């Protein structure tokens, strides 16, 4: 199964160009929906206004080199490792899901555009596609059943679904149905293979077509917010917030009676 390229098998009954156009359509849906989301929520306007206001209260002028260093450090530390979540299960689940999804998407594009013309895909690429889907499932299901705030801290049942859950559920559906499609296809289970293929296509349409209603666009906003925050700390403007206290308040031993989980 791990060496199976499901897109190559599909290309025997469906033109490779149809799959490629489908990928392009999904990318366009993300761009258009994210743009509409920005217009509706005015996120970009807020960031520019906030940056302009912070520049006026900056205590030091950052050189281009210093700004570049802050941005690179933010990308390498805050964004690439989701350090804002601290050390623990939530961070591990997010890292698994994030890198699994990135690997899953990149290898999907490579397999569809380069190995649906009859050429054999290298085993490391097909293995990476399956590994990315598995990582996404592990991180996503772990988060969904055990680590969500409303489940772990607010005692809501895991099956309670709201609009904000559309992204993670559609993403899990894509990875799960993709793996199921590959498994049934590699084992010549024709009927189930077509069923899981249809479910895989539908879940992709929901994931990429539902950007406007889901938290998908959140992935683009968070890096920008992290960069702006660190630049504000570096130039001393601190987004017009007061500096941290010199001596933190002493809460006593009572705070250690339970693990912090009330977000």
CATH code (residue 64): 1.20.950
Q: What is the mean pLDDT of the chain?
A: 83
Is a pLDDT exceeding 80 seen at residue 136?
Answer: yes
Q: Which residues contact 263 (CB under 8 A, 6 or more apart)?
A: 149, 153
More confident residue, 177 or 228: 177
- Please check whether residue 37 lies inside any domain of the structure: yes
Output the CA–CA distances (angstroms, integers) from residue 218 to 50, 56, 60, 204, in the order listed. 18, 28, 31, 18
> Which of 26-40, 83-97, 210-224 shows the lowest per-residue confidence on average (mean pLDDT)?
210-224
- Please check whether residue 262 lies inside any domain of the structure: no
Q: Which residues contact 11 (CB under 8 A, 6 or more apart)?
A: 19, 116, 117, 118
- Please check whether residue 1 lies inside any domain of the structure: no
Q: Is 28 exposed, middle or buried (0-12, 13-18, 19+ CB in 10 A)?
A: exposed
CB atoms under 10 Å from CB of 105, counted, come to 16
Is a pLDDT exceeding 90 seen at residue 158?
Answer: no
The DSSP secondary-structure symbol of 136 reads: H
CB-based contact 217:34 (threshold 8 Å): yes
- Please check whether residue 224 lies inside any domain of the structure: yes
- Please check whether residue 249 lies inside any domain of the structure: no
Residues spanned by the domain of 36? 6-236
Mean pLDDT of 222-245: 74
- Please check whether residue 77 lies inside any domain of the structure: yes
Is a pLDDT exceeding 90 seen at residue 203?
Answer: yes
- Please check whether residue 251 lies inside any domain of the structure: no
What per-residue confidence (pLDDT) applies to 244?
64
Q: Which residue, among 171, 6, 199, has the nearest Cα to 102 in the 3D structure? A: 171
What per-residue confidence (pLDDT) applies to 173?
96
* Total domains, the chain: 1
Q: Which residues contact 87 (CB under 8 A, 6 or more apart)?
A: none
Whole-prediction pTM: 0.80
pLDDT band at 259 (very low <50, low <70, confident <90, very high): low
Q: Which residue, among 136, 142, 143, has the nearest Cα to 108 in the 3D structure? A: 136
- Please check whether residue 242 lies inside any domain of the structure: no
Output the CA–CA distances (angstroms, integers) from residue 155 to 109, 117, 123, 255, 258, in the order listed. 40, 51, 44, 21, 16
Q: Which residues contact 231 (CB under 8 A, 6 or more apart)?
A: 62, 67, 70, 71
Mean pLDDT of 14-41: 88
């Amino acid at each position: 199964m791990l060496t199976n390229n499901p897109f190559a098998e599909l290309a025997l009954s469906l033109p490779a160009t149809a799959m490629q156009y489908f990928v392009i359509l999904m990318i366009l849906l993300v761009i258009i929906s994210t743009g509409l989301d920005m217009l509706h929520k005015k996120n970009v306007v807020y960031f520019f206004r906030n940056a302009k206001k912070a520049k006026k209260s900056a205590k030091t002028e950052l050189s281009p080199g210093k700004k570049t260093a802050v941005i690179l450090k933010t990308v390498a530390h805050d964004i690439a490792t989701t350090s804002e979540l601290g050390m623990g299960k939530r961070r591990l689940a997010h890292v698994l899901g994030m890198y699994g999804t990135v690997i899953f998407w990149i290898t999907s594009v490579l397999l569809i555009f380069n190995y649906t013309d009859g050429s054999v895909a290298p085993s490391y690429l097909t293995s990476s596609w399956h590994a990315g889907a598995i990582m996404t499932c592990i991180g996503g299901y772990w988060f969904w059943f055990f680590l969500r705030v409303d489940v772990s801290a607010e005692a809501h049942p895991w099956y309670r679904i709201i609009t904000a859950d559309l992204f993670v559920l559609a993403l899990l559906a894509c990875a799960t149905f993709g793996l199921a499609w590959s498994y049934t296809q590699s084992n010549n289970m024709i009927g189930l293979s077509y069923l899981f293929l249809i479910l895989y296509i539908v879940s992709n349409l929901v994931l990429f077509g539902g950007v406007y209603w889901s938290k998908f666009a959140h992935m683009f906003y968070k890096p920008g917010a992290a960069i702006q925050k660190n630049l504000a700390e570096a130039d001393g403007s601190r987004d017009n917030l007061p500096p941290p206290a010199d001596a933190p308040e002493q809460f006593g031993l009572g705070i250690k009676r339970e693990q912090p989980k009330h977000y």
